[in-house]
Chains A and B, each alone.
Chain A
């Protein structure tokens, strides 16, 4: 157990909120996926193209569902850390958001260079994971 400075404590809350937003975003896409309805407007938005592309499912698992569990795990770790600050929690979170960051880079690459379409919800997820990555890494550096 470690004691948190005011700054670290605030940053942890921001991590929890960002993870929650990411969780809702991914859940929304996962729900849409299982209902078989793409949130679209065919000419101007690429959501249908992206969320129904072959890249939306990896090893039989919809990317949105995996993303939902990932954000939920980060959220629970962040709350657990706020509740009882322990180093292993921030280490675990750092590991997760690093994997999340790599996945994000891959998905953004796919959207730009392979699918040639953008999905607003996916871009929002890229934003939340980038924010999470930056925050978790800086918290980890502070508590080291």
Chain B
């Protein structure tokens, strides 16, 4: 017998190992093991990842490092109307898509008109994105209109036509049309709508609302103190007049 034929070469041994490894990989036990590890890994990733995503979406605290104005600290970036040097300030945290805010809107509008000489009004965004998918883009639209000096005109239009855009899947075009209707430059509006200036302002508003621990929209603060008037003119005017009398 030729001894050489019985000696396995290095190469052959390597081949054998490869085959054995391949067999093990195809064995039922091994596959079962992979399936089990895979199952638990998927569960682990989905649970941890899901909670992480949830905590990210629920804490919309704006940009880190951004200055968050408190309720009674009105900045130059705020959207205001009425008498800028008034002793009484009414701050509203609102959501353009929220039906309650829409219900308050006619009353608040009449109040801002009637008290425009004695009260300063501030509108801050608090879009409840989880239940109102178009609220944030509406806030951007109002901000973009504001860059061309027509924040309040857009504010009114958005509330007047809430029912028309609330269910829309592509609001940008709709809001662009509103801007043009208001006599704004459409291209500039689109640019501002996408700009970080407009978006950061909305995020800052939300952060300030969170800091004020508001419970929902709309929330009103009269000289820094939360008030909860029903959406009727008398309740608002009584509260404001009380405050005006105190200041005089």
Give the interface of A toward B (CB within 8 A).
16, 20, 23-24, 27-28, 31-32, 35-45, 48, 52, 72, 75-76, 79, 82-84, 120
A31-B55, A79-B39 given; A42·B214 CB < 8 A: no
B139 at the interface (CB under 8 A from A): no
The reply to whether B47 and A75 contact each other, CB–CB distance below 8 Å, is yes
Taking chain A's interface residues, is the majority helix, strand, or loop, or is none over half, making it mixed? helix
Look across to chain B and name the residue whose beta carbon is closest to the beta carbon of A120: B131
The reply to whether B131 and A28 contact each other, CB–CB distance below 8 Å, is no
B43 at the interface (CB under 8 A from A): yes
The reply to whether B36 and A83 contact each other, CB–CB distance below 8 Å, is yes
The reply to whether A37 and B39 contact each other, CB–CB distance below 8 Å, is no
The reply to whether B216 and A41 contact each other, CB–CB distance below 8 Å, is yes
Residue in A23, A43, A82 whose Cβ sees the most chain B Cβ within 10 Å: A43
Q: Which residues of A contact B218 (CB under 8 A)?
A: 42
B19 at the interface (CB under 8 A from A): no
A32-B58, A35-B58, A36-B213 given; A42·B40 CB < 8 A: no
Number of B interface residues at 8 Å Cβ cutoff, please give it.
Answer: 30
Look across to chain A and name the residue whose beta carbon is closest to the beta carbon of B215: A38
- Whole-angstrom CA separation of A39 from B131 in the bound complex: 8
Q: Which residues of A contact B214 (CB under 8 A)?
A: 37
Q: Which residues of B contact A120 (CB under 8 A)?
A: 131
The reply to whether B40 and A41 contact each other, CB–CB distance below 8 Å, is no
- Whole-angstrom CA separation of A93 from B59 in the bound complex: 33
Q: Which residues of A contact B131 (CB under 8 A)?
A: 39, 41, 45, 120
- Whole-angstrom CA separation of A40 from B213 in the bound complex: 13
B150 at the interface (CB under 8 A from A): no
The reply to whether B217 and A41 contact each other, CB–CB distance below 8 Å, is yes
Look across to chain B and name the residue whose beta carbon is closest to the beta carbon of A44: B99
Query: Separation in Å of the A141 CB from the closest CB of chain B?
Result: 25
Q: Which residues of B contact A43 (CB under 8 A)?
A: 99-100, 103, 231
B142 at the interface (CB under 8 A from A): no
Q: Which of B58-77 contact A (CB under 8 A)?
A: 58-59
Looking at the complex, which one of A23, A39, A82 makes contact with B47 (CB distance below 8 Å)? Answer: A23
Query: Separation in Å of the A65 CB from the closest CB of chain B?
Result: 12
The reply to whether A38 and B216 contact each other, CB–CB distance below 8 Å, is yes
